[in-house]
Amino acid sequence: MSMISGWAGRARGLFADNKGPWGPKGSGDEPEEPAPGPWGETPKRGKRTAADPMTGGSSLDEFLRRSRARFSTGGGGGLPGRPNASLILWGALGLLAVWLVFTSFHSISPSQRGVVTQFGRYSRTLSPGVGLTLPSPIEKVRKIDVENIRNTDLGSGNSTDLMLTGDQNLIDIAYTVRWNIRTPELYLFELAQPDETIHEVAESAMRSIISQVSLNDAMGDRRADIETLVAEKMQQILDHYRSGIQIQGIAIKQADPPDQVNDAFKQVTAAQQDAQTYINNANAYSLQLGQKAQGEATAFQKVYEQYRLAPEVTRRRMYYETMERVLQGVNKTIIEAPGVLPYQPLPPPKQSQPTEGAPQ
């Protein structure tokens, strides 16, 4: 019954003269109560709800309206055009989280070590992997490559690079120092200028070793020994400095006299090489003759041993062999003295055939 009465009231309102949806307005000052709704409920006057379908609004419209108000007026309490304070807070928190992640977690490769400083003071060294530190600027990490072999070249051919040998000669040496970082924290904090330090230590060690050898040794025979001695001396000095540097080796690329006497020195060197060649040839010829004489002496010793066993037979055999060797190429006629006829025609002697290429 209530639903029927509600629909009836609504129909009466449509055909009434007044303009209100719930019935005619009173002529008095007090507003008349509106007619009940179609479901038998009387709507209350006052603030319209967003979910009331009869007020012309919806929850979606109300949400959009509140959103526009929040972004445009700052939640109802801010100035127009300014963002909400909560958005600023969330943005600041996001930036803080990103900053903490990027300054607290550090990826260290296998060839690197991470030197951690706390307010500029050395704290610890991170091993390869993922390391965790306090965020910057409390703690900072500097990655150092400890496996990379670095090269430092010394010697440019200037007069200031000449070194004095042990036999009071000048020599121009160009060489390379190979080194790497062994202890990164010492390398960073014990040396103010690592490259300059290596340069000075290498030059000092090379001059010290060159002053103990001759010019010929420095230029040829003992070059490998010099490289080893210089590397050992450099390592001792750098360890005394607590440099954190490991010397991998020294390679001498050039060892020549000064440019002013280089041409003359090359001529002297060539003459020395020729003289050494002649000496070697003489020694080889002397060795050959000695071996030949030794062989002849051995053969004579064997003959003498046979002569001692049968002197007469050996003497006769030696005589026959000697005569055979002497008369082998001579025209000869053999005549026995007893019974020789006064005249006996003999055939003409056989002439020896001339050798090929001999004059006729």
Distance from C-alpha of 129 to C-alpha of 110, rounded to nearest angstrom: 7
What's phi and psi for 22, nearest 5 deg? -115, 20
CA angle 140, 145, 146 (to 5 degrees): 115
Q: Domain of 2?
A: 1-46
Crossing angle for the helix pair 262-309 and 311-327, nearest 10 degrees?
120
Alpha helix (H) residue ranges in 85-221 = 85-104, 184-189, 194-210, 215-216
* Average confidence (pLDDT) over 213-238: 91
Regarding whether 129 and 97 lie in a shared domain, the answer is: yes
Structural domains of the chain, count: 5
- For 53-72, what is each residue's pLDDT tens digit? 444 456 777 777 776 666 55
Distance from C-alpha of 207 to C-alpha of 175, rounded to nearest angstrom: 12
pLDDT bracket for residue 201 (50, 70, 90): very high
Dump the DSSP string for 256-294: E--GGGHHHHHHHHHHHHHHHHHHHHHHHHHHHHHHHHH
CB 139 within 8 A of CB 117: yes
Regarding whether 277 and 200 lie in a shared domain, the answer is: no
- For 70-85, what is each residue's pLDDT tens digit? 655 444 444 455 556 7
Q: Is residue 337 part of a domain?
A: no
> What global pTM score does this model have?
0.53
Regarding whether 94 and 40 lie in a shared domain, the answer is: no
Regarding whether 199 and 162 lie in a shared domain, the answer is: yes
Q: Is residue 92 part of a domain?
A: yes
Q: Is residue 320 part of a domain?
A: no
pLDDT at residue 146 greater than cutoff 50: yes
Regarding whether 303 and 205 lie in a shared domain, the answer is: no
Regarding whether 179 and 228 lie in a shared domain, the answer is: yes
Name the residue among 151, 117, 149 with its Cα closest to residue 136. Answer: 117
Sorted by sequence, the CB contacts under 8 Å of residue 218 that are 6+ apart come out as: 165, 171, 173, 210, 226, 255
Regarding whether 113 and 32 lie in a shared domain, the answer is: no
Q: What is the 8-class DSSP label of residue 347?
A: P
Regarding whether 248 and 161 lie in a shared domain, the answer is: yes
pLDDT at 231: 95
Regarding whether 126 and 201 lie in a shared domain, the answer is: no
Last residue of a domain, one of 230, 257, 284: 257
Last residue of a domain, one of 63, 80, 97: 80
Regarding whether 91 and 72 lie in a shared domain, the answer is: no
Distance from C-alpha of 301 to C-alpha of 295, rounded to nearest angstrom: 10
Regarding whether 76 and 53 lie in a shared domain, the answer is: yes
